[in-house]
Amino acid sequence: MQLLSDVTLIALTILGGTFLILLAAVIKSGAEGAIKLWNGIGAVMGAAIGAMCTYYFAADEIEMAKVNRDQAVEQVVAAREVLADFQTEISNTNEKIVSLARSQSPNQPALDNDSIRAISRDLQAVENLSNRKAAQLQTQIDRFQKIVQTTVPN
């Protein structure tokens, strides 16, 4: 079990190394030499410390963004499964209707034109509704994919 993360260990090493350099400068050249040394490396140390702070404070937000991305991916997968099931159900229903129409024997009384038109209208309404629902699901899938692509890179 690791006590400190790799990033924490690197940050502490940088800070410790800087402290040792400044301590050596104070011992060797006095306070004036340490101040001159600090003038030289102060900006670099400021940038390094700022980067470390940014990493630590942004790490939680990055992790949350990754979790949100993973959830969006799961929703896209679920929506795709629903869409596939829906399309399969539509196909199965159409096959049943065709099969039923083919199984009509000549001895059975024929449907009158009004009944045929009513069934045709109902089937068209079901197909239109199915197409709208499928389009809505596809839109939702596309929206989730855009969210996944823009949230956090892998």
d(CA 26, CA 34): 5
- The string of pLDDT tens digits covering residues 61-78 is 888 888 888 887 787 788
What is the reported pLDDT for 112? Answer: 59
What is the reported pLDDT for 26? Answer: 86
Residues of the chain with pLDDT under 50: none
To which residue do tokens 């060797």 refer?
Answer: 28
What is the reported pLDDT for 140? Answer: 76
Count of other CB atoms within 10 angstroms of residue 21: 15
CB-based contact 136:86 (threshold 8 Å): no
What is the reported pLDDT for 106? Answer: 59
pTM of the complete model: 0.45
What is the reported pLDDT for 113? Answer: 65
Residues 6+ apart with CB under 8 A from 12: 4
Q: Which of 47, 55, 24 lies closest to 37 in space, CA to CA?
A: 24
Question: Residue-wise over 121-139: b if at least 16 C-beta within 10 A, else e?
Answer: eeeeeeeeebeeeeeebee
- The string of pLDDT tens digits covering residues 17-26 is 888 988 888 8
What is the reported pLDDT for 151? Answer: 64
What is the reported pLDDT for 42? Answer: 84
